[in-house]
Amino acid sequence: MNFRRNLKKLNSFKKEMKKYEHIEDTDVTSILKWVKARQKKVKTVSKLINLNQCKDWFLDKNNNLFHKSQQFFKVKGVETKGAAGREVKSWTQPILTQKHGGVLAFISRQTKKYGTQFLIDVRIEPGDDSILKISPSFQATQSNMNRAHGGKRPKFYDIVIQNKGAELIYYTIHNEEGARFWKKSNWNVIVKLKNPNDRRIKGDNYRWVSFKQIKKLALKNRYVNPFVKTILFIL
């Protein structure tokens, strides 16, 4: 999709949002109760361990950390010089490198009853504070999509990546935070279901919410992960 077509599709989508925004739900009470109920069922526990305790991760001859599949990411060293305007002009530090970026996507639907809605996921990441975060519908690295972990492809891969039963509304590449990642970028994507009642959309960790509800939730402390705001700021 070229820039002009991308912009045309996005503007058309935004017009539909505007058309039905008067019927969008704005109350987040039930969503917060739902998140808390899901939180009670979460058994995930993360703790810091030594690098030599990480299964399938090794150090190469230069002491760079890598996965045995040669996918996911590596931890290398980086030297920076001539950094004008920074606290110091030069320094060295570890940095994460990754051959391929990831895909961050929202699945949306538009109905006359609810207006425009976005599918949220509640999930937890290893570095989180053990609190479930409201996240995009789809969040995966290329390694996850290639099944480098030996498991299944990410849920909704067929909808987001293959666009089966869905229309691609918007996509763009955003760079990751450069202080921790080496030249990493992610695809930010919005797709719209052709059938608002698509039966593939199921799972206790997923829920349809309005754009107005997302904006309200973003005002709550520690409820929304940063990728939600990165994708939807365009709207």
pLDDT for res 83: 86
The predicted-structure confidence for 8-41, as pLDDT tens digits, reads as follows 999 999 999 999 999 999 999 999 999 999 999 8
Helix or strand or coil: residue 84? coil
- Place 1 in a pLDDT band, splitting at 50, 70 and 90: low
pTM comes to 0.91
The predicted-structure confidence for 141-154, as pLDDT tens digits, reads as follows 888 888 877 778 89
pLDDT for res 215: 96
Scan for tokens 């069922």, then name that residue. 41
3-state percent breakdown (helix, strand, coil) of the chain, nearest 5: 25, 30, 45
Q: Which two tokens stand for residue 75?
A: 């931890």
pLDDT for res 212: 97
- CA quadruple 66, 43, 150, 199: dihedral sign: negative
Q: Which two tokens stand for residue 173?
A: 């590449």
The predicted-structure confidence for 193-216, as pLDDT tens digits, reads as follows 999 999 999 999 999 999 999 999
The predicted-structure confidence for 33-79, as pLDDT tens digits, reads as follows 999 999 998 888 889 999 989 999 999 999 999 999 888 899 999 99
What percentage of residues in the chain have a pLDDT greater than 90?
70
Of 188, 195, 186, 197, whose CA–CA distance to 235 is shortest? 188
**Domains of the chain from N-terminus onward:** 3-47+99-232 (3.90.79.40), 51-96 (no CATH)
The predicted-structure confidence for 118-143, as pLDDT tens digits, reads as follows 999 999 888 887 789 999 999 998 88
Q: Can you say how many angstroms the Cα of residue 149 is from the centroid of all Cα atoms in its chain?
A: 18
